[in-house]
Amino acid sequence: MASAPSKLYADDVSLVVVLLDTNPFFWSSSSLSFLQFLSHVLSFLNSILTLNQLNQVVVIATGYNSCDYIFDSSLDLKRSLENGRMPVMCSSLLQKLEEFSFKDEQLSKEEPEGRIKCSLLSGSLSMALCYIQRVFRSGALHPHPRILCLQGSPDGPEQYVAIMNAIFSAQRSVVPIDSCYMGAQNSAFLQQASYITGGVHHKPQNLDGLFQYLMTIFAADLHSRSFLHLPKPVGVDFRASCFCHKNTIDMGYICSVCLSIFCKHHKKCSTCGSVFGQAQSEAASASDKKRKTPET
Amino acid sequence: MPQVKIIAKNFMDMVASLPAIKLDMLYRNQFICEAILRSLPPLAKKYVLQMLYIDVPITSKSLQEWVIADGSSKHKVAIDRLIQLRVLEVIDRKKETAYKLNSTFQTNLRKHLINGGILPREPMPSNVTARLPTLEELDAYAHGQWEEQGVDQADLIAFLLELSFHTTGEAYSLNTLTDDQRAMIKDLADLGLVKLQQGRKESWFIPTKLATNLSVSLTDSSLRKQGFVVVETNFRLYAYSSSKLHCEILRLFSRVEYQLPNLIVGAITKESLYNAFENGITAEQIITFLQQNAHPRVAEKTPAVPENVTDQIRLWETDLNRVEMTPAHCYDEFPSRDVFEAASDFARVHCGLLWEDPKKMRMVVKAEIHMLMREHLRGNK
């Protein structure tokens, strides 16, 4: 089902867009503290930049209410390397992260209660894909982009449609989405994303060794991946969610025009507006009645 | 400037030839560790990162398990390179070889990744330096120095490339060089690319290994060849090239219709592809050729070659593979239906039954289990 990438990677220059989950509801109850997590991630980012002079790293924070860019190696690291790459990267990233968290929290004050405490993954995926599109249009010589999702928050069912759209556009532009899930259960969205786009999904068993997982699995560039043994997808949950209630369903109704999925019979498709005919059972009983009358 | 890149590649070979003690001293410098890491083949880089925090030696068998079968040659190249640079130390344990990262290299690379490198020198404070040239002025200065030497960049590159095809150790007369090249040769001698010698009447130059290895480093993957082929969804082919070689290659699998001074127009047809397949060319080879040589205009698109074209090429290839042959034996004239059914079950259990006709009691069984079948039938009788 996963489409084989038709691009030939000749070298190992990479652009890694990292989507960092900053959802405070998840981090407050996680065994790994956010600070420890950041130290693993920052060293990992530095390793990517060390591997190749032309490698680029972009970090997008996935918050509870909003998403924003918090680091771009091509901009933030242009000058002032005399202080060392790591200290510059850390100070720039941490400062922007602090500003972002503050703004994100402000937006919570107007939020209605009762929402599952998930992060805005659809937003950051879309931002990452837009950035990558810009890189594609910058000319023939560009690094090979991929997206790395560092996620701990659970899946938000209301984001199903947006996330699936993002996954399909990533598949179309041949951008692999890697995902490292650090939460308690499984994330069906991330498993599907990695499977469909040809990326790697992994749920580390021991979060204390996160850095080693990142180095072993996620630091491999796209060219070398065709030669390496990486975690294979096992038991991906491919069930769709209905568009009306966002529940995962096994059987449902599909609009023949736009392929939207519904769990119950509707008169009209909410996505494309096409009017549906009568349901099967009603049509059958109507024709039965017609047949019966001529006999008498 | 291209020259820096060329020398850097061979610089690594020079580094690799240093004795172990000197290498250890070099590896105390975090930036040298980073430079060495960057010069490694991609697979080797990955191995270094993966082993960075592992303190125990890893057996070569375990290392081999990290790659799939297709990658074993790349694996070998990577390991050899790492050992050559003494980044990887070999530990011979009884029967198994194990590898461990060079401890100096490991410690310093760890520090570099966690703390980040600080350059050994800082730019001078601005109150001391009167006026720093801007980036444009620096560029102009660099360019100016090149011109002063009377050297055209293109000429130099051409000459260097030419040198790379000479034989190491052979003497070539200086008279065969143009004036420009003669001016360049002195600088190259200073850099160790050639050795100048003088006889009684003639003087000559001898290319060293550094010069002849240039072509190897220039075919580095960092130089991407310009593609020239555009494939349309209606199976038409346009190649912006005037090269005879390209024309002949395209003639192998496509029908070339027009040849203009800068353009070759053709079409991929069933007949042309059948010709190619009969000559032993596979569909994968054709598709890879089209993808790797895609014109820059279409190379950015995904996919570079339209899917309907690639799919159709593969389908036409399978057209020629409709018949599959399996060596087999045919069994006939069974004494009774029971024997026939027992034999048929036996064959099925051993996954060797290819065809059976219960009415006429005949069956065809794979040649591999023929011996087993004979014994079974003899045992039954």
Domains and CATH numbers, chain B: 11-115 (1.10.10.10), 135-218 (1.10.10.10), 229-321 (no CATH), 328-380 (3.30.70.2610)
| B58 DSSP β-pair partners | B99
The predicted pLDDT at position B131 comes to 53
Give A 32-71 residues with CB within 8 A of chain B: 43, 46-47, 50-53
Percent with pLDDT over 70 in chain A: 84
Are B296 and A224 in contact (CB < 8 Å)?
Answer: no
Residue at A181: amino acid letter:
Y
Are A51 and B70 in contact (CB < 8 Å)?
Answer: no
Residue pair A100/A63 in contact by the 8 Å Cβ criterion: yes
Residues of A in contact with B296 (CB under 8 A): 140
CB-nearest to A11 from B118, B122, B222 is B222
Are B37 and A51 in contact (CB < 8 Å)?
Answer: yes
pLDDT at B7 over 70: no
pLDDT band at residue A2, thresholds of 50, 70 and 90? very low
Residue pair B347/B363 in contact by the 8 Å Cβ criterion: yes
CB-nearest to B34 from A8, A50, A87 is A50
pLDDT at B316 over 80: yes
Residue A14, classified by CB atoms within 10 Å of its CB into exposed (0-12), middle (13-18) or buried (19+), is: buried
Give the pair of three-digit tokens for residue B189.
């001698």
The predicted pLDDT at position B155 comes to 60
pLDDT at B136 over 70: no
The predicted pLDDT at position A240 comes to 83
Residues of A in contact with B297 (CB under 8 A): none
Cβ of residue A85 closer than 8 Å to a chain B Cβ: yes
Cβ of residue B74 closer than 8 Å to a chain A Cβ: yes
pLDDT at B5 over 60: no
A101-115, B88-102, B154-168, B207-221: which has the minimum mean pLDDT? B207-221
Cβ of residue B135 closer than 8 Å to a chain A Cβ: no
The predicted pLDDT at position B64 comes to 84
pLDDT at A136 over 80: yes
Mean pLDDT along residues B343-348: 88
Read off the pLDDT of residues B156-202 as tens digits, 9 standing for 90 and up.
655 665 666 566 666 777 777 777 777 778 877 777 777 777 777 77
Cβ of residue B311 closer than 8 Å to a chain A Cβ: no
The secondary structure of chain B in percent helix, strand, coil, rounded to multiples of 5, reads: 50, 15, 35
A55-69, A215-229, B86-100, B268-282: which has the minimum mean pLDDT? B86-100
Who's near B105: CB < 8 A, 6+ residues apart?
B27, B33, B36, B87
Mean pLDDT along residues A222-249: 83
Average pLDDT along chain B? 79
Give the pair of three-digit tokens for residue B50.
């993966």
pLDDT band at residue A69, thresholds of 50, 70 and 90? very high
pLDDT band at residue B138, thresholds of 50, 70 and 90? low
Kindly list the domain boundaries of chain A, sorted by start residue. Answer: 14-225, 240-295
Read off the pLDDT of residues A205-215 as tens digits, 9 standing for 90 and up.
888 889 999 99
pLDDT at A185 over 50: yes
Distance from the Cα of B134 to chain A's closest Cα (Å) equals 14
Exposure on the CB side of residue B310, measured as CA atoms within 13 A: 15
Mean pLDDT along residues A173-202: 91
Q: What is the DSSP string of A214-242?
A: IIIIIS--HHHHTTB--PPP-S----EE-
Are B49 and A219 in contact (CB < 8 Å)?
Answer: yes
pLDDT at B124 over 60: no
Residue pair B256/B266 in contact by the 8 Å Cβ criterion: yes
pLDDT at B204 over 60: yes
pTM of the model: 0.66
Give the pair of three-digit tokens for residue B12.
């690594």
Which residue's structure tokens are 């209905």?
A242
CB-nearest to A216 from B50, B112, B224 is B50
Residues of B in contact with A90 (CB under 8 A): 116
Residues of B in contact with A9 (CB under 8 A): none
Whose CA is closest to A63, among A22, A99, A100, A102?
A22
pLDDT at B229 over 90: yes
Residues of B in contact with A212 (CB under 8 A): 53
CB-nearest to A228 from B45, B67, B305 is B67
Are B112 and A50 in contact (CB < 8 Å)?
Answer: yes
Mean pLDDT along residues A21-29: 89
Residue pair A19/A128 in contact by the 8 Å Cβ criterion: yes
Q: Give dist(CA A148, CA A176) in Å, integer.
A: 9
Whose CA is closest to B253, among B284, B222, B219?
B284
Say whether the peptide bond before residue B303 is cis (omega within 30 degrees of 0): yes
Q: What is the DSSP string of A252-270?
A: -EE-TTT--EESS--SB-T
Give B 25-64 residues with CB within 8 A of chain A: 34, 37-38, 42-43, 45-46, 49-50, 52-53
Mutating which of B48, B132, B302, B310 best tests the A interface, going by the most A Cβ atoms within 10 A?
B302
Give the pair of three-digit tokens for residue B96.
């198994």
Cβ of residue B179 closer than 8 Å to a chain A Cβ: no
pLDDT at B4 over 80: no
**φ and ψ at residue B75, rounded to 5 degrees:** -60, -45
The predicted pLDDT at position A283 comes to 47
Between A146 and A277, residue with greater pLDDT? A146
Cα torsion angle, A94, A98, A100, A101, sign: positive
CB-nearest to A215 from B50, B115, B303 is B50
Give the pair of three-digit tokens for residue B158.
């051409």
pLDDT at B25 over 90: no
Cβ of residue A212 closer than 8 Å to a chain B Cβ: yes
pLDDT at B149 over 60: no
Between A5 and A143, residue with greater pLDDT? A143
Q: What stretch of H or E contains A56?
A: strand A56-62
Are A87 and B123 in contact (CB < 8 Å)?
Answer: no
Q: Give dist(CA B30, CA A111) in Å, integer.
A: 49
Residues of B in contact with A87 (CB under 8 A): 115-116
pLDDT at B221 over 50: no
User: What are the CA-CA distances from residue B247 to residues B227, B269, B271, B284, B290 (Å)?
Assistant: 14, 16, 18, 20, 13
Mutating which of B32, B46, B53, B118 best tests the A interface, going by the most A Cβ atoms within 10 A?
B46
Give the pair of three-digit tokens for residue A266.
């509707």
First to last CA, chain B: 86
B307-319 and B270-278 helices cross at what angle (nearest 10)?
60
A291-295, B80-84, B131-135: which has the minimum mean pLDDT? A291-295
Residue at B344: amino acid letter:
S
Q: Give dist(CA B283, CA B208) in Å, integer.
A: 43
pLDDT at A296 over 60: no
A86-90, B263-267, B279-283: which has the minimum mean pLDDT? A86-90
Are B45 and A10 in contact (CB < 8 Å)?
Answer: no
**What is residue A144's three-state secondary structure?**
strand
Distance from the Cα of B124 to chain A's closest Cα (Å) equals 11
Mutating which of A47, A57, A214, A216 best tests the B interface, going by the most B Cβ atoms within 10 A?
A47
**What is residue B358's three-state secondary structure?**
coil
Are B68 and A12 in contact (CB < 8 Å)?
Answer: no
Between B378 and A147, residue with greater pLDDT? A147
Residue at B270: amino acid letter:
K
Whose CA is closest to A21, among A239, A210, A238, A209?
A210
Between A288 and A144, residue with greater pLDDT? A144
CB-nearest to B299 from A46, A85, A140 is A140
Q: Which CATH number fits domain A14-225: 3.40.50.2000, 3.40.50.410, 3.40.50.2300, 1.10.760.10?
A: 3.40.50.410
Q: In chain B, whose CA is at the least distance from the CA of A214?
A: B50
Give A 236-295 residues with CB within 8 A of chain B: none
A54-63, B5-14, B246-255: which has the minimum mean pLDDT? B5-14
Give the pair of three-digit tokens for residue A111.
């939020």
Size of interface A-B (CB pairs under 8 A): 107
Q: In chain B, whose CA is at the least distance from the CA of A222?
A: B42
Are A6 and B222 in contact (CB < 8 Å)?
Answer: no
Between A48 and B203, residue with greater pLDDT? A48
CB-nearest to A227 from B68, B116, B307 is B68
Q: What stretch of H or E contains B372?
A: helix B370-380
H helical segments located in chain A:
24-27, 34-51, 73-76, 85-108, 121-136, 160-172, 188-197, 210-213, 222-225, 280-295
Distance from the Cα of A33 to chain B's closest Cα (Å) equals 18
Are A51 and B45 in contact (CB < 8 Å)?
Answer: yes
Q: Give dist(CA A145, CA A133) in Å, integer.
A: 10
Cα torsion angle, A107, A112, A114, A116, sign: negative
